Structure 1
C-alpha cells in the first residue's frame, strides 16, 4: 500500500501568484445565493414605507451589474398625500439616507386638497416591465363636480412627473446600494477574509483541499 503525503496550506500561506488564482476562482463565493442582498431589500422597503410607498422584497427585481440591460425595478402602490408630506419633511434624512435627493412637489396645493377631500380620486402605482429593468409608473384618476377640468388634468400630469422623478431616484438608490454591496463582497480583501475565516485549505498550487482535512 502506497502512502501519499500532501502539504495543506491556509490561504494566507499560499504564494502570491497562487493566491491570485485562488481569489479569481472563488471570487463569487459570497454572492452565489440570495442571502447577500436580502437585508438591503428589507431596508429599501422600510425606506419606501417612510415615503408612503408600499412594496415588499418579493416585489423587487434586479439584474447586475456590468452588462447591457442591467438595472432594477419594483412593484409598488403610492399614497400621494403621504409622499408629498414625507418629502416636504425630508423624513429619509432622519433615517440616514442623506445621499438621496428628492424634489419638493410642484403641484398646486388646491389639487392636493381636492385629493384629500376625495373630490379627485387618483391612484399611482408601478408595474414590473415585461422586458428590461426600469420604473413603469401608471396613473388612474377621475374627479367629481369640479370645474376647470383641463387645469386639473394639467396639475395631475405635473404630479405624475414629480412622482416619477422621485421614484426613479429611489430606484437609482436601490441599484447603486446593491452594486456597492456586490462589489464589496467580491473584492480581493473580502474573498480573502472569507477563505481565512472559514479555514479553507488548499494544496500548494491552489486546489481546494477541504476534503483532505
Structure 2
C-alpha cells in the first residue's frame, strides 16, 4: 500500500545555527556560477589596454557551432602553492598610461606603481621598448610567463641594462595583481553572506537538521 509521509520543511532563516552551517555547506559545494571570473577578466582587459598590453587571443568553440576569440588569460587556485595567474600578449608604449590608470583605478597603488615603472623605463629607452609575453608549461602563475624584451631603435641601440628586469617584474606584478582580484571575487562569492543570499533568493527548503529537501 502507498504511504504518505509528511515532512516539515524550513526556510533558511528558520533553521538553527548548526542546521544553517549544514545548509551553507551544501550550497557552497554547488560552486560559484559558471564563468564567475568574467567580470574580473573584463576589468583586467581594460587595465591591459591602458598599460599598453594587447592580449593574445585563442579561438573557443560556441555551443551553436561557431567560434569566438577568447583572451589568453589563465589561472589556477586558490589552495596550492603553485597557484596563480598568467597571460599572453604584446607590450608597447602607451601614451598617458600613468594618468589613465589613476583615473580608472584611483585607489590602486599596485597598478599605479606598474604604470609608473613601465613609463620610466620607456622614457630611458626613448619609448622604443616592446615585449612579447608568452606562457610556458602546464601551470599558471607569474613565473610561467616568458617575457622577451626588445627595442625598436632606428639606430640599433640596445635596451638599457635595466630594461628587461624592469619590464619582466612589472609584468609579473600585473599577474600577481590579477590573481589577487580573482581570489577576492571568489572569496566574496563563497562567503557566508553571499551563500545565504543565494539560498534565500532561490527559496530552497531544508529539514530541521539543515538537509536540503526536494
- TM-score normalised by structure 1 residue count: 0.79
Paired residue for 2:74, among 42, 61, 73? 61
1:95 — aligned with what?
A: 104
* Structure 2: gaps (5+ residues): 58-69
2: CA distance, partners of 1:11 / 1:108? 57
2:40 is the counterpart of 1:40 = yes
2:115 is the counterpart of 1:111 = no
Q: 1:196 to 1:95 in 2, by over 3 A?
A: same
Q: 1:14 to 1:43 in 2, by over 3 A?
A: same
Greater per-residue helix proportion:
1
* Pairwise CA distance, 1:136: 2.2
Paired residue for 1:168, among 168, 172, 181? 172
Paired residue for 2:88, among 63, 66, 75? 75
Q: Given that residues 130 and 152 in structure 2 are in contact (C-alpha distance below 8 angstroms), is that contact kept between their aligned partners in structure 1? A: no
1: CA distance, partners of 2:4 / 2:170? 68
2: CA distance, partners of 1:162 / 1:17? 52
1: CA distance, partners of 2:185 / 2:46? 18
* Structure 1: gaps (5+ residues): 116-121, 147-151
1:17 — aligned with what?
A: 18
Paired residue for 2:158, among 153, 162, 183? 153
Q: 1:44 to 1:127 in 2, by over 3 A?
A: same
Greater per-residue strand proportion:
2
- TM-score normalised by structure 2 residue count: 0.78
Q: Given that residues 106 and 162 in structure 1 are in contact (C-alpha distance below 8 angstroms), is that contact kept between their aligned partners in structure 2? A: no
Q: Could you list the structure 1 runs, at least 4 aligned residues long, displaced by more than 3 angstroms after superposition.
A: 103-111, 140-146
1: CA distance, partners of 2:12 / 2:133? 47
